[in-house]
């Protein structure tokens, strides 16, 4: 076995070692404030919870295994998490919830910055212990790589005060939600620092973090203090009624080029930082589907949740033909991956992975700071 090195500074340098999630034992968790705010009002998931149907889990794992093999075939080392018993409740001195979630998607939990892997606070009660699924791997990396920093953000208390009560309804309506999210009134309060790792984009010395349902301003401030040598930017995307995780909204492809979801545009004043550093922000292609697959939390915009293998090669879900076509026209080599039947477990190609090693170092892609 090759020697383990943890190193990844951005979303595009050549990928050599990655974690791919598993659908095993994945549960639809019982209602809780932050999760309810994300489930669309017309979703087939409203009001049901418990272990996901075994045939869907088996199909999800078949595709995730296939994806892992495809990456291995391209010379990328792939590791997998170790599921815990997700039927068990989460009990802390502050809350109780009847079941957990799963070990998909790893991107939500683990934030790799350089030689560090940071376990995010998370913002759903059902995901409080999810980091345990990655501990066997992190323990191993820690033994094998003497420079690896294994860090964990302060575990949040997630009391009722961590969530705005206005969101405790499934009859808010999309118009109201759009008004609230445009005003940056999200389900999480500023009671304590909260972030999910999938709200963070790594662009070398700059980290771009989505302020939304799963990450609050204190969480973003915590990330800045934790990475003092980075520049951390809070961004938000009006137009998204359920803003969680940045990776179906804003997708870097290589230095200087980002896709933005055309329904969730980065506000003009926040674009200036990119423009004055010669970054181009282009609208992502339309999704190929009109609705998400059954029992899926995510929107159809998982189309743009691509995994960049290197600045010339991008993995795209194979049914997302418009996204593939756009990338092809932009000059990328497109690797098709069959993963749509695993979307329900929490996301697409970027979500289902977490970086361990990409070549390259920390570079400054935003030299113009005036």
Residue ranges in contact with ligand DAV by CB under 6 A: 198, 244-245, 247-248, 298-299, 301, 347, 351
Q: Which residues pair with 316 in a beta bridge?
A: 336
Q: Look up 351 and say whether it is catalytic.
A: yes
Question: Distance between CA 150 and CA 161 in Å, rounded?
Answer: 30
Phi, psi for residue 31 in degrees, rounded to 5:
-55, 140
Give whichever of 314 and 351 is closer to ligand DAV, judged by the CB atom. Answer: 351
> Comparing C-alpha atoms, which of 205, 219, 176, 209 is closest to residue 37?
176
Shortest distance, CB of residue 2 to ligand DAV, whole angstroms? 29
Q: Look up 245 and say whether it is catalytic.
A: yes
User: Left if phi > 0, otherwise alpha if psi is -120 to 50, otherwise beta: which for 233?
Assistant: beta
Length of the chain: 370
Shortest distance, CB of residue 237 to ligand DAV, whole angstroms? 10
Contact 220, 123 (CB under 8 A): no
Q: Look up 42 and say whether it is catalytic.
A: no
Kindly report the number of other CB atoms within 10 A of residue 96's CB atom. 10
Shortest distance, CB of residue 40 to ligand DAV, whole angstroms? 9
Give whichever of 102 and 148 is closer to ligand DAV, judged by the CB atom. Answer: 102
Contact 236, 214 (CB under 8 A): no
Q: Which of 196, 206, 240, 247 is catalytic?
A: 196
Give whichever of 204 and 348 is closer to ligand DAV, judged by the CB atom. Answer: 348
Shortest distance, CB of residue 198 to ligand DAV, whole angstroms? 5
Give whichever of 198 and 335 is closer to ligand DAV, judged by the CB atom. Answer: 198
Q: Across the chain, how many H-helices and E-strands are there?
A: 8, 19
Q: Known catalytic residues? A: 196, 245, 351
């Amino acid at each position: 076995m090759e020697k383990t090195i943890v190193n990844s500074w951005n979303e595009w340098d050549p990928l050599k070692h990655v974690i791919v999630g598993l659908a095993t034992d994945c549960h639809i968790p019982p209602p809780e404030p932050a999760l309810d705010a994300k489930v669309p009002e017309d979703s087939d998931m409203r009001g049901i919870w418990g272990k996901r149907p075994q045939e869907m889990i088996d199909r999800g794992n078949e595709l995730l295994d296939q994806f892992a093999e495809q990456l291995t075939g391209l010379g990328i080392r792939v590791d997998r998490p170790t599921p815990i018993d997700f039927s068990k409740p989460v009990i802390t001195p502050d809350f109780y919830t009847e079941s957990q979630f799963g070990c998909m998607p790893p991107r939500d939990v683990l934030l790799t910055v350089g030689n560090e892997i940071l376990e995010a606070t998370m913002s759903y009660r059902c995901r409080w212990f999810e980091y345990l699924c990655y501990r066997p791997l992190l323990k191993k990396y820690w033994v094998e790589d003497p420079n690896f920093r294994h860090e964990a953000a302060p575990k949040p208390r997630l009391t009722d005060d961590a969530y705005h009560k206005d969101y405790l309804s499934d009859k808010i309506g999309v118009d109201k939600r759009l008004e609230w999210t445009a005003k940056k009134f999200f389900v999480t309060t500023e009671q304590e620092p909260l972030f999910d790792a999938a709200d963070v984009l790594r662009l070398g010395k700059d980290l771009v973090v989505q302020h939304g349902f799963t990450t609050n301003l204190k969480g973003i401030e915590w990330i800045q203090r934790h990475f003092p040598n980075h520049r951390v930017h809070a961004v938000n995307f009006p137009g998204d009624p359920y803003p969680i995780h940045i990776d179906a909204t804003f997708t870097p492809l290589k230095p200087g080029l980002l896709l933005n979801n055309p329904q969730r545009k980065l506000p003009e004043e926040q674009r200036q930082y990119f423009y004055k550093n010669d970054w181009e922000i282009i609208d992502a292609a339309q999704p190929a589907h009109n609705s998400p697959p059954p029992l899926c939390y995510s929107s159809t915009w998982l189309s743009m949740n691509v995994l960049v293998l290197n600045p010339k090669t991008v993995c795209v879900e194979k049914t997302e033909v418009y996204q593939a076509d756009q990338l092809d026209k932009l000059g990328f080599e497109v690797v098709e991956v069959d993963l749509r039947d695993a979307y329900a477990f929490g996301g697409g190609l970027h979500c289902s992975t977490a970086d361990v090693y990409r070549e390259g170092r920390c570079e400054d892609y935003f030299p113009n700071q005036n």
